[in-house]
Amino acid sequence: MKVLEERIREEGLILSDTVLKVDSFLNHQVDTELALQIGQEFASIFRDLPVTKILTVEASGIQFAMAAGIALKVPFIYAKKKKAVTLSEAVYSAPVHSFTRREDYRISISQKYLGPEDKVLIIDDFLATGVALIGLADIVKESGAELLGVGCVIEKSFQKGRGLLEQRGIPVHSLARISSMSPGEVHFIDNDVQYKEMIKESAGC
């Protein structure tokens, strides 16, 4: 997604070879117009799938799950990181380790809102180590719902998250795939070029 890659180049702050900060427009201050475009892009990618619900995890996945839900006209659920007093009923849950916050926690969702009749699209802001997304995938499996795919806004392709998801047979699509980065420099994998190569291959070229 070119407009997203350009924005990452312009406004992203690369703090190290692994830490990218995009909190001026994606996950602290949020450019609502860009978030809507991101939702439309996810919708155009997953439009042919019979998605009934979008699943994400609080907090930074919410704006993109919402945008995708608007575009696909389906509700979304955000997994909670702690069990609130008002989340008293039975939950599906999974353990997660946050490298950003350096802590272990559980994510959970009410069993009332996901079941065997659902076809789920998982949306999140970042795909890096993949631990939060694996946790969400485990929750979908536990619920008996079908997981149709994972959509991420930014993928750090040099980390193992995509591989872990693909090993489980989960289709992954990220809107901006970073092959490498270092302070002042970011390189993207060109999704368009990849598609063209895939099309050429399938056409026997």
Q: How far is the CB of 123 from a second copy (least distance, A)?
A: 12
Tokens of 132: 């939060």
Nearer to a second copy, 61 or 149 (CB): 61
Going by C-beta distance under 8 Å and a sequence separation of 6 or more, which residues neighbour residue 184? 14
Query: Hey, which bits of 52-191 come out as E strands?
Result: 53-57, 76-79, 91-98, 103-110, 119-127, 146-156, 172-182, 185-189
The reply on whether position 77 binds a second copy by CB under 8 A is yes
The reply on whether position 28 binds a second copy by CB under 8 A is yes
Q: How far is the CB of 31 from a second copy (least distance, A)?
A: 5
Contact 152, 126 (CB under 8 A): yes
Binding residues for a second copy restricted to 47-76, rule: CB under 8 A: 53, 58-59, 62-63, 66-67, 69-70, 73-76
The reply on whether position 90 binds a second copy by CB under 8 A is no
The reply on whether position 197 binds a second copy by CB under 8 A is no
Question: DSSP assignment of 38-92, as one string?
Answer: HHHHHHHHHTTS---EEEEETTTTHHHHHHHHHHHT--EEEEBSS--TT--S-EE
The reply on whether position 182 binds a second copy by CB under 8 A is no
Binding residues for a second copy (CB under 8 A): 15, 19, 21, 23-25, 28-33, 35-36, 53, 58-59, 62-63, 66-67, 69-70, 73-78, 80, 82, 84-88, 100-102, 109-110, 112-113
